[in-house]
Amino acid sequence: MGGGGFSMEPENPLLDEFVLSLCPKKVPRVCFVPTAAADSAAYIVKFYRAFSNGAAIPADLTLFDPGSLARNPSRSSDLSAFIAEQDIIYVGGGNTVNLLAMWRAHGLDRIFREAWLNGKILCGLSAGMICWFKASVTDSFGGLDRLDDGLGLIDASACPHYDGEPGRRPAYHQFIKDGLPSGFAADDGAALHFVGTELVEVVTSRPTAAAFRVENAEGRVVETKLPSRFLG
């Protein structure tokens, strides 16, 4: 999700409902991972308010608070077992650089890759979108910068909030021109649905939200609007 979901659109559950619909289970287990927001308690509360309506079994995975180890074991083997119990991993927004550092320190980069290969649904917004890609546009350093060491499950670059922040589009175009891998941009309210590494659909929670393929064609940046389906 370029932006949206329970934290950005609390009165518009369309994207979150779409995520739940991807799981064949009637009531899937959904684990919220708020690492990018330093495990913000307020963020976690918002998640439980959104997902405690009987449509899902919510859980959270925190890394910053040592007192949470009853829910969040510190050993990678225990973390792996915990993630294996979940159906959907939902990653929140925030600082992508900090997220990647914490995940790698705890071995979650490997655990999430294994979960992905085993058919778990991985999703998120903003930082929780771009972390799965090889490269991205991030504001983790204060301004808009390129990030080249994402998890790389999707071998492409990504840019969230494409219409939500005026500097996103020109920054992404410049980074693509300067050698960032070609990739995908998503507006707030737009989500890119991949099966494996293949993009199968763009869905939106807003009629005007869109997603784009952005490529370097012999030194010229080409932006192509992708077909999308409004969920409303």
- Indicate if 80 belongs to the active site: no
pLDDT for residue 72? 46
- Indicate if 193 belongs to the active site: no
Q: What is the pTM of this model?
A: 0.94
pLDDT for residue 73? 47
CA 200 to each of CA 136, 203, 214: distance values in angstroms, whole numbers, following the listed order: 20, 10, 17
Residue of 7, 126, 136, 228 with catalytic role: 126
In tens digits, the chain (232 residues) has pLDDT values of 999 999 999 999 999 999 999 999 999 999 999 999 999 999 999 999 999 999 999 999 999 875 554 454 444 568 999 999 999 999 999 999 999 999 999 999 999 999 999 999 999 999 999 999 999 999 999 999 999 999 999 999 999 999 999 999 999 999 999 999 999 999 999 999 999 999 999 999 999 999 999 999 988 999 999 999 999 9
CATH of 5-230, one of 1.20.1060.10, 3.40.50.720, 3.40.50.880, 3.20.20.100: 3.40.50.880
- Burial classification of residue 131, based on how many CB atoms lie within 10 Å of its CB (0-12 exposed, 13-18 middle, 19 or more buried): buried
pLDDT for residue 225? 98
Rg (CA), the chain: 17
pLDDT for residue 66? 54
pLDDT for residue 215? 98
Each domain of the chain, given as residue ranges in start order, spans 5-230
Residues 6+ apart with CB under 8 A from 66: none
- Burial classification of residue 174, based on how many CB atoms lie within 10 Å of its CB (0-12 exposed, 13-18 middle, 19 or more buried): middle
Residue of 106, 140, 157, 161 with catalytic role: 161
pLDDT for residue 77? 62
